[in-house]
Amino acid sequence: MNFRIKDHRFFSMKNMYHRVNSSCGRPLVSLMLGLFVLSCTNSTDEFNPMEAYYNESLGLAGTTFDSTMNFAHKYNNYVFNTQGAQSDVHYQPTMSNLCNAFKTFGYKLVGWNLDITLVEGFV
């Protein structure tokens, strides 16, 4: 859609849209980019797998024996493949939760090396 202005220049709606869009869009894009950068730089929390294992171990007593064994194998692999995992503050509470979970099923955790050893009949 074109209109003729008094000084004989053509004014089109398409040109007007690009002028308005380019002049109003720049501050908006700058604002959005600034907010994105600020939100990314404020996250200083690092993911701690030992804390995640501890949180998962809190609910082990209410699960099945198979779920507890799956967790034990997963946790065992992580602990023995990660240097310093046994010195983490969450290691001992997680082990206590794991032992208590096995006690609810009548087992005692007696071996914790490269394999998991359980003794049946412990109450």
Tens-place pLDDT, residues 70-94 = 999 999 899 889 888 889 999 999 9
Q: Over the chain, what is the mean pLDDT?
A: 75
Query: Are 32 and 55 found together in one domain?
Result: no
Distance, in Å, from the CA atom of 1 to the CA atom of 12, rounded to the nearest integer, reads 6
- Return the pLDDT at 61: 84
Number of domains in the chain: 2
Query: Are 91 and 107 found together in one domain?
Result: yes
Residue 37 belongs to what domain range? 2-41
Distance, in Å, from the CA atom of 113 to the CA atom of 76, rounded to the nearest integer, reads 8
Query: Are 8 and 56 found together in one domain?
Result: no
- Of residues 108 and 71, more confidence is placed in 71
* Bridge partners, residue 117, by sequence: 111
- Return the pLDDT at 92: 92
Query: Are 32 and 58 found together in one domain?
Result: no
- Of residues 80 and 24, more confidence is placed in 80
Query: Are 61 and 114 found together in one domain?
Result: yes
Positive or negative: CA dihedral 60, 50, 94, 111: positive
